């Protein structure tokens, strides 16, 4: 029995001016296949004939270094499309204003028309007397609806271009590209420096705590090897690094608890030691934060962890 295909409707809302240049992509977690398109001016995107399951949704804009939205969604095997809303806050464009003047960019219309044509061709070629299945009919109906929507968009794209200066446009594009490249490189460097600094603090704090207890050499080596790997992997992307950091922090918290249990009645005094409290608060912040998907989120986690440690020192 054939697997039922599914559709998904994605709507960008909050800042209509961003719809024109936005890029929407879906990547199947099961197959790795990527589906990419651009929305209409009203912010709507319809992707059809997908396999049901988990997908990674990403919405990007050329004026921004980071995605507008990046999250996991589930496409359900149902007749009606899965609905996904994406909030586009205007505040993220405060330094990169987008003039709200429609251009005659027919790319979304062309994409929708081409997709409708392809879907219609899939269900063509029926022989006399051959049954038309519900899935074929739904695909054809969806294709006609997509084509109608695409034609409707043409009525919104009749804004003529004014007198153009290609040499100025080229220079502006060059400057913008240079600024974007510099900002990305600078942001990445700042994040790596912060990771190195926090990993060094974590190692020093761990050394101080393990010096207070009789920890087996194998356990001690395993913990320090994990921390050293953090220092080595500072160039990893945010999801990988923060997951690794959360795992190391969980292991350190488990070790602190084991030491307290081994000390028996002296465990309470051990846990009340400022060095132990500092390491506990630092690692709790990382463990509880878990995996982060964005660099700015990771930086906030580092700040919270450092502030928790400073609060212990002030006591």
Note the pLDDT tens digit of each residue in 121-152: 666 666 666 666 666 666 666 667 776 676 66
- CATH number for the region 6-162 comes to 2.60.40.1120
3-state DSSP call for residue 83?
A: strand
Angle (CA) 102 107 111, round 5°: 135
Q: Which two tokens stand for residue 175?
A: 């400057």
Contact 11, 47 (CB under 8 A): no
Cα(91)–Cα(109) distance, integer angstroms: 28
Q: What is the mean pLDDT of residues 99-113?
A: 61
Contact 205, 271 (CB under 8 A): no
Contact 143, 124 (CB under 8 A): no
Strand order in the sheet with 69-75: 34-37, 23-28, 53-60, 69-75
Please state the separation of Cα 150 from the chain's center in Å: 29
Q: Which residue has the higher pLDDT, 2 or 259?
A: 259
Q: What are phi and psi of 240, to 5 degrees?
A: -65, -45
Cα(285)–Cα(290) distance, integer angstroms: 9
Residues of the chain within CATH 2.60.40.1120 domain(s) are 6-162
* Predicted confidence (pLDDT) per residue in 188-238, tens digit: 788 888 888 888 988 999 998 888 888 888 888 988 898 889 888 888 888
pLDDT number for residue 143: 67
* Predicted confidence (pLDDT) per residue in 149-186, tens digit: 766 666 555 444 444 555 556 666 766 776 676 666 67
Query: Token pair 């506990």 is at which residue?
Result: 280
pLDDT number for residue 294: 84
Contact 243, 219 (CB under 8 A): no
Q: How many CB atoms lie within 10 A of CB 305?
A: 24
Q: Which two tokens stand for residue 236?
A: 């990893």
Q: Which two tokens stand for residue 35?
A: 């589906």
Query: Would the pLDDT of 56 be above 90?
Result: yes
pLDDT number for residue 232: 87
Q: Tell me the Cα Rg of the chain.
A: 27
Q: Classify strands 69-75 and 53-60 as parallel, antiparallel or unpaired.
A: antiparallel
Q: Which two tokens stand for residue 271?
A: 């846990």
């Amino acid at each position: 029995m054939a697997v039922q295909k599914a559709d998904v409707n994605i709507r960008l809302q909050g800042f209509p001016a961003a719809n024109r240049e936005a890029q929407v992509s879906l990547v199947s977690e099961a197959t790795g296949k990527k589906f990419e398109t651009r929305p209409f001016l009203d912010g709507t995107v319809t992707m059809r004939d997908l396999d049901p399951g988990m997908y990674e949704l990403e919405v990007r804009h050329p004026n921004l270094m980071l995605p507008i939205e990046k999250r996991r969604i589930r496409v359900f095997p149902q007749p009606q499309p899965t609905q996904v809303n994406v909030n586009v806050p205007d505040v993220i464009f405060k330094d990169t204003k987008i003039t709200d003047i429609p251009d005659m960019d027919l790319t979304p219309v062309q994409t929708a028309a081409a997709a409708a044509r392809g879907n219609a061709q899939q269900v063509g070629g029926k022989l006399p007397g051959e049954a038309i299945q519900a899935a074929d009919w739904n695909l054809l109906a969806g294709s006609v609806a997509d084509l109608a929507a695409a034609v409707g968009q043409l009525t919104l794209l009749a804004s003529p271009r004014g007198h153009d200066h290609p040499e100025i446009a080229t220079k502006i594009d060059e400057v913008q590209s240079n600024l974007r490249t510099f900002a990305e490189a600078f942001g990445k460097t700042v994040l790596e420096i912060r990771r190195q600094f926090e990993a060094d603090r974590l190692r020093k704090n761990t050394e101080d705590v393990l010096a207070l207890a009789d920890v087996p050499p194998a356990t001690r080596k395993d913990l320090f090897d994990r921390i050293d790997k953090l220092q080595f992997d500072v160039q990893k992307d945010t999801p990988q690094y923060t997951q690794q950091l959360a795992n190391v922090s969980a292991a350190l918290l488990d070790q602190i608890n084991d030491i307290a249990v081994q000390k028996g009645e002296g465990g309470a005094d051990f846990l009340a030691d400022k060095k132990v409290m500092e390491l506990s608060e630092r690692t709790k912040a990382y463990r509880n934060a878990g995996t982060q998907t964005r660099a700015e989120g990771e930086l906030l986690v580092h700040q919270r962890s450092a502030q928790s440690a400073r609060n212990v020192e002030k006591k």
